[in-house]
Amino acid sequence: MPWLHFSREFIRKIRSEIPELPASRRERLKREYSLNDKEAELFVYYKDLGEYFEKVVSELPPNLPRENLARLTKLSANYLISDLQGLLKGGSVAAKGFLITPENFAEFIDLIHGGKISSRIAKQVLSEMFKTGADPSNVIEEQGLVQITDKAQIEEAVREVIAQNQKALEDYKAGKGTALQYLIGQIMARTKGKANPQMAESLLKEILTKMK
């Protein structure tokens, strides 16, 4: 039988036509996106979701500092694996009825990272995007979901919640840590999830300290 000789160009062409194998894909995802084993495995198993994730990351704002890009990438993975998977209910992002473009999902992630919406409001926005395919900024504007960052407005809500929850106030003074979280929850409920959580907690602690 005669020896077979293949040129380097022929070998390179054949290699380029071979689909990425699961093991290689798993390692590449972990290396390029700093995913943990569980995240990488899920994106390998659900190939369509993994490809969508990479498209989302490619649509994130350009020229970001490396640290910010890492945070946005991690946030993208988290929302795809948890919230979006919950909405899909076993469906696929490759299905004809899936309406969220990678560009809009990337914008959604950037809005969360930039503090424009809280995690609670994010669930509401994503649900609307899933149903209609709308741009996240349009959803936020049309439904009045912009996060409240005005100190006076948040402080007013904090004082109203304290005045209406004297039992929780007494529990806090008695050293019960759960009382603080309860009051924060009431503030978020009062502002329909729109108050900046960090500002709400800071102002609450500040006012409670003065009341001791």
* CATH number of the structural domain spanning residue 177: 1.10.10.410
Q: What's the CA gap between 113 and 102, in Å, rounded?
A: 16
The string of pLDDT tens digits covering residues 139-195 is 998 888 888 888 999 999 999 999 999 998 888 888 888 888 999 999 988 988 888
Q: How many helices (H) and strands (E) does the chain have?
A: 13, 0
pLDDT at 37 over 90: yes
In-domain check, residue 11: no
| Domains in the chain, number | 2
pLDDT at 10 over 60: no
What pTM did the predictor assign?
A: 0.75
Q: 40 and 103 share a domain?
A: yes
Q: Is 109 exposed, middle or buried (0-12, 13-18, 19+ CB in 10 A)?
A: buried
Q: Is 150 exposed, middle or buried (0-12, 13-18, 19+ CB in 10 A)?
A: exposed
pLDDT at 84 over 90: yes
Range of the domain at 184: 151-211
